[in-house]
Amino acid sequence: MADPAPSFELCPACAARPIEDETSGFCQQCVGQRVTEAYVERQREAADMRNAKWRERASSDQLDATRERQRASRLARAVQTRERPEDTADPWEICFQGLQHLKRVEVAMGSNAGGRAHLEAARECLRQLATGPDVD
């Protein structure tokens, strides 16, 4: 009697190659394809969730809230200092230092009349910050 043909099972996905990965029950090529497909599917689902949240935030009834949130975020970034002053720092001293820096800029600018107007506006803003609102 002749030996029976070797028995091996074919990959259920492609039915062309023998099962090589006992854990999954597929051939190596199909395992790689399935891993890639699963990754792409997870990424697509995550993107769909992000898009749904984006649409929700951008809906027409929330445009004012979105605009205000963006404005507040830009303002916070614009006024953030590189390093915070000490809690004992005098606002007038900080203002004085700022005014001195603006004076140096004015000297370096020369006779640029448009720039001088902006410098004066910056000086006034510093003074207002140093003195705070009128609380009478």
CA–CA dist 100, 122 (Å, integer): 12
pLDDT score recorded for residue 86: 85
**Distance from C-alpha of 19 to C-alpha of 9, rounded to nearest angstrom:** 6
Which pLDDT belongs to residue 72?
92
Cα angle vertex 78, ends 76, 80, to 5°?
65
- Report whether 19 contacts 25 (CB < 8 A): yes
Q: Report residue 2's pLDDT band, with 50, 70 and 90 as the boundaries.
A: low
Distance CA 85, CA 64 (A): 34
What digits encode the pLDDT tens for the residues 18-62? 998 888 889 999 999 999 999 999 999 999 999 998 887 777 667
Judge whether residue 135 has pLDDT over 70.
no
Over 80: is that where the pLDDT of 121 sits? yes
Residues 99 and 126 sit within 8 Å (Cβ to Cβ): yes
Kindly tell me if the per-residue pLDDT of 1 is higher than 60.
no
Both tokens of 134, joined, read 């009128």
Model-level pTM? 0.45
Integer Cα distance of 109 and 51 in angstroms: 49
Helical packing angle, 113-131 and 91-109, nearest 10° = 180
pLDDT of residue 124: 87
